[in-house]
Homo-oligomer: A and B are copies of this chain.
Amino acid sequence: MSIQTDVRAKAQAAKQAAAQMARVATDVKNRALFLMADRLVAETDFLLSENAKDVAAARAEGQSAPLVERLTLNAARVGEMAAGLREVAALPDPVGEILGMTRRPNGMQVGQMRVPIGLIGIVYESRPNVTADVVALCVKSGNGVLLRGGSEAIHSNRAIARLLRESAAASGLPADAITLLDQTDRQAIMEMLDLVGIVDLIIPRGGAGLMRLVDEHARVPVMKHDQGLCHIYVDESADLAMAEAICVNAKVQRPATCNAMETLLVHRAVAPTFLPSLAKRLTDAGCTLRGCPHTLAILPTIAPATEDDWGTEYLALVLVIKIVDDLDHAMAHIATYGSAHSEAILTQNHPRAMRFLHEVDASAVLVNASTRLNDGFQLGLGAEMGISTSRIHARGPMGLTALTCAKFIVLGDGQLRE
């Protein structure tokens, strides 16, 4: 069978299963999630032996140490997957939630009801725990899920998906609601992107190459999880001790993430006081600094920033620093170079905090908090599918409700259109 035929056939079966999923009662879905968690733990040895094949292949191919690390499962990580499934079971079911019933002048009551989206396609890479995480969210929100993981994790993903499917079926869910595509080449992604009327939403999680492929070929709706070029603006009225702690956290705590700070903007009035101490802490933490000419006047030992630096997402211990004249200057820089992901202002001045909060265009705008907090768990969603950088449907961390949409409902007693 051609890849095209196979992907389409599997997707169609998953779509039919998704329609059944929409009607499954919450307690049935929860029992399935608990059973999945128990099965993963019970089959830890099987999962680790399948995972070992992927890890051996990655090593044989000379893959980077970070990739091998992300790929590797152990008993603790299997336990975390199981814990994640149980946590999603404990979250409220968004399906069937009714939003604001109001009575119209003609007496009918009108509101909206949350319903699943349908069949959701996920394209992801390396970390096999994503398989369990996204299945948990899709099952709980009553959606079907079509998974396409990376080739490097294919044995692990097959093993995890098999246990999840078996647990689903044993709990009374349609097994095809959880469908892993075996095909790991690019052609399978191209086919998914083309399944108009079958796949209702594609969530691509990956690097710039995947995003380009999606921009070029997607004919189905997409919620992109794209890069983060995130700024912190330290205002003249910032609490500088707090600002130093936040800047260090946003840059150093996990620099390879999309919500890490890439560019620091500092008001010129506080730069001479603020920057030397911060620079020392960042340099001590292994960070390379680059700066605008005004920054270099204060930190003469760092390298000058080039125009390219302002538009680069390093995902590494590199920080570019610019001194700005005021809030407007900072917001103009963010509007020009930012990727509308996570943007923070540090200030004690209320009007400026409110202007930044209202006017800055980003999936999350933060006042006096680290950009690293733009995350589904940190923001209280309980779990997340990743962080949407799209401008419709959902911005920022996508939790269970972002995997639903709202239909209108009308309760009448004979109302007509006049």
Contact indicator B249/A416 (Cβ below 8 Å): yes
- Report Cα–Cα, A415/B245, bound state, in Å: 9
For window 365-418 of A, CB contacts with B under 8 Å fall at: 365-370, 372-375, 378-380, 390-397, 405-417
For window 240-263 of A, CB contacts with B under 8 Å fall at: 242, 245-246, 249, 253-254
- Report Cα–Cα, A23/B380, bound state, in Å: 28
Contact indicator B366/A410 (Cβ below 8 Å): yes
Point out the residue from B200, B367, B396 that lies within 8 Å of A412, measured CB to CB: B367
Contact indicator B219/A215 (Cβ below 8 Å): yes
Q: Is A22 close to B, CB under 8 A?
A: yes
Point out the residue from B104, B113, B358, B380 that lies within 8 Å of A358, measured CB to CB: B113
Instruction: Find the B residue at minimum CB distance from A388.
Output: B405
A153 surroundings in chain B (CB, below 8 A): none
Q: Is A221 close to B, CB under 8 A?
A: yes
Contact indicator A370/B335 (Cβ below 8 Å): no
Point out the residue from B118, B378, B406, B407 that lies within 8 Å of A104, measured CB to CB: B378
Instruction: Find the B residue at minimum CB distance from A391.
Output: B200
Contact indicator A408/B395 (Cβ below 8 Å): yes
What's the least CB distance linking A88 to chain B, in Å?
19
Contact indicator A408/B374 (Cβ below 8 Å): yes
Contact indicator B379/A110 (Cβ below 8 Å): yes
Contact indicator A373/B415 (Cβ below 8 Å): yes
Q: Is A28 close to B, CB under 8 A?
A: no
A414 surroundings in chain B (CB, below 8 A): 239, 242, 245-246, 368-369
- Report Cα–Cα, A375/B106, bound state, in Å: 14
- Report Cα–Cα, A19/B335, bound state, in Å: 9
- Report Cα–Cα, A22/B200, bound state, in Å: 29
What's the least CB distance linking A261 to chain B, in Å?
11
- Report Cα–Cα, A218/B218, bound state, in Å: 8
- Report Cα–Cα, A313/B411, bound state, in Å: 25
How many copies of this chain does the complex contain? Answer: 2
Q: Is A179 close to B, CB under 8 A?
A: no
For window 192-234 of A, CB contacts with B under 8 Å fall at: 196, 200-201, 215-216, 218-219, 221-223
- Report Cα–Cα, A321/B396, bound state, in Å: 47
Contact indicator A218/B219 (Cβ below 8 Å): yes
Contact indicator B396/A393 (Cβ below 8 Å): no
Contact of A373 with B108 at beta-carbon distance under 8 Å, contacts A201-B392, A392-B117, A408-B397 already known: yes
Q: Is A272 close to B, CB under 8 A?
A: no
What's the least CB distance linking A12 to chain B, in Å?
14
Q: Is A47 close to B, CB under 8 A?
A: no
Q: Is A361 close to B, CB under 8 A?
A: yes
Q: Is A362 close to B, CB under 8 A?
A: yes
Contact with B along A91-135 (1 / 0, CB 8 A): 000001000001010001010010101100000000000000000
A392 surroundings in chain B (CB, below 8 A): 117, 200-201, 221, 223, 392-393, 405
Can you pick out 24 interface pairs between chain A and chain B where the beta carbons lie within 8 Å of each other? A22-B361, A104-B379, A110-B379, A113-B358, A115-B361, A117-B391, A117-B392, A118-B391, A223-B392, A353-B411, A357-B409, A362-B407, A363-B407, A364-B410, A366-B410, A368-B412, A372-B417, A373-B410, A373-B415, A373-B417, A374-B410, A395-B406, A396-B407, A397-B408
